[in-house]
Amino acid sequence: MNGQVIGGAANGPVTSGPVVRPYGDTTGDGMVQLSFTLPIPHDRRAEGAALQLAGRMGMDPAMVVHARAMGPDFTFFVVYGRVSHLVDLDQVEVVEREYPMLGPKEVNLAIRRGLRRRLVVVGACVGTDAHTVGIDAILNVKGFAGEKGLEYYREIKVVNLGAQVAVPDLVARALAERADAILVSQVVTQRDAHIHGTQETSAAFREAYDEPDRPLLVVGGPRFAESMAAELGVDRVFGRGTTPGEVASYLVHALVSERAASGRAAGHAPGHAPSHAPSHAPSHAPTRGADPTERTA
């Protein structure tokens, strides 16, 4: 039903689709809670400033429900109040998952059949970012949210470089490992460090590789929007709450299923010549997947 309000009567502008409004004490009351810090000492004037700010943000009435000094010159606030804004669900834009979720056995089978070798993933936190919780949750065998990490997958070779990795070092290791995919985790967001670090990584890989041979570039972090891939120059962005299974399923989709559908022969990974083509690489060059001990059924 057009204009249907989920959670209360509509007092705002007319909309074309179902709309929602915040829920606090009663259905459709529009109550929200907001926290912020002001660079002023904690006193009555500070609380008045917090209420004025809340009012200018559209909260009416608003009340300060928590205030605490953060040192001598800052105050942290939690304010609670009503807003009149509605959200038209038909106008919400999100990045829908365009690939099926696969279990570990399905991922292993798809890689084994499609690539006929192990899929190589190199992961790191680049720049000065020292937060490895995110990259470890995806790569380490212990995983996240009850799911095993990519190290658990028999047909995926994981190279986890850890934290504070310089972008040139990441590119060099990717070339040495003949990586199929690069996973970069960025948590630090001060002064848009996560954006600058990702764009630097993208530029470095595009300079080091011809575009058809470039590894898949995947970035993740709690402050990324999944719609930012084009802006960042990467192939995929994963936000907060992403599980290892989602990443593994995407890698299969992008590196196996999608390329097979586009007519690329199985086993032609980024940076690799077809297996039947003559090799001009030096004899000491790594031959991925040649060691039978590296692949298990």
**Annotated catalytic residue: which of 105, 142, 148, 157?**
142
Which residues fall within 8 angstroms of residue 120, CB to CB, at 6 or more apart? Answer: 156, 157, 159, 177, 178, 179, 180, 181, 269, 288
Query: What end-to-end distance do the CA atoms of the chain give, in Å?
Result: 53
> Largest Cα–Cα distance of the chain, in whole Å?
78
Please tell me the predicted confidence (pLDDT) of residue 71: 95
Q: Does the pLDDT at position 13 exceed 60?
A: no
The per-residue pLDDT of the chain, averaged, comes to 84
> What DSSP element (H or E) covers 79?
strand 75-82
Domain segments of the chain as ranges: 5-91, 104-270
Question: Which is more confidently placed, 70 or 145?
Answer: 70
Q: Which amino acid is at 237?
A: V
Question: Which is more confidently placed, 16 or 110?
Answer: 110
Beta strands in 137-269, from DSSP E residues, in sequence order? 156-160, 181-185, 216-220, 236-238
Classify residue 204 as left (phi > 0), alpha (psi -120 to 50) or beta. Answer: alpha
Please tell me the predicted confidence (pLDDT) of residue 125: 92
Q: Range with the lowest mean pLDDT among 17-31, 40-54, 69-83? A: 17-31
Q: Does the pLDDT at position 263 exceed 60?
A: no
pTM (2 decimals)? 0.71
What SS3 state is found at 51? Answer: helix
Q: How confident is the model at residue 240 (pLDDT cuts 50, 70, 90)?
A: confident
Q: Tell the CATH topology of 5-91.
A: Defensin A-like (3.30.30)
Please tell me the predicted confidence (pLDDT) of residue 16: 61
22-31: average pLDDT: 90
Please tell me the predicted confidence (pLDDT) of residue 111: 97
Please tell me the predicted confidence (pLDDT) of residue 272: 47
58-85: average pLDDT: 96
Do 5-91 and 104-270 share a fold?
no
pLDDT, one tens digit per residue, over 174-205 is: 999 999 999 999 887 677 778 888 999 999 99
Q: Is 105 a catalytic residue?
A: no
146-160: average pLDDT: 96
Cα–Cα nearest to 125, from 77, 54, 186, 65: 186
* CATH number assigned to the domain covering 104-270: 3.40.50.280
Question: Which is more confidently placed, 151 or 259?
Answer: 151
